[in-house]
Structure 1
Amino acid sequence: MPEDPLKTLSDMASDAHVRIQAAHQHINPVVEVRRGMRDSGIPADVMTIDCLRTRRRITLVLHDKQPGLVLYQFVTIDDEVGTDFRQVPLSDVDVGMLVDWMQTYFG
Structure 2
Amino acid sequence: MSKEPLKTLSDMAREAHARVQDRHQHINPVVGVRSGMRDIGIPADVMTIDCLRTRRRINLILHDEQPGMLLYQFITIEDEAGDDFQSVAFSEVNTQKLLEWMEAYFD
Question: What range is the shorter-chain TM-score in?
Answer: over 0.9
Can you give the 5+ residue segments of structure 1 that lack an aligned partner in the other structure? none
Q: State the TM-score, normalizing by the size of structure 2.
A: 0.96
Instruction: Quote the residue 2:32 is aligned against.
Output: 32
Q: What amino acid sits opposite 1:19 in the alignment? A: R
- Whether 1:69 and 2:69 are equivalent positions in the alignment is yes
Q: Hey, which bits of structure 1, 4+ residues long, moved more than 2 A? A: none
The equivalences for 1:1-107 within 5 A come to 4-107=4-107
Tell me the percent identity: 67
Cα displacement string for residues 7-43 of structure 1 (whole angstroms, at most 9, x for unaligned residues): 0000000000000000001010000000000111100
Counterparts of 1:4 and 1:53 in 2: how far apart (Å)?
31
Counterparts of 2:84 and 2:97 in 1: how far apart (Å)?
20
Q: State the TM-score, normalizing by the size of structure 1.
A: 0.96
> Per the alignment, in what secondary structure is the counterpart of residue 11 of structure 2?
helix
Aligned residues: 106
RMSD of aligned residue pairs (Cα, Å):
1.2
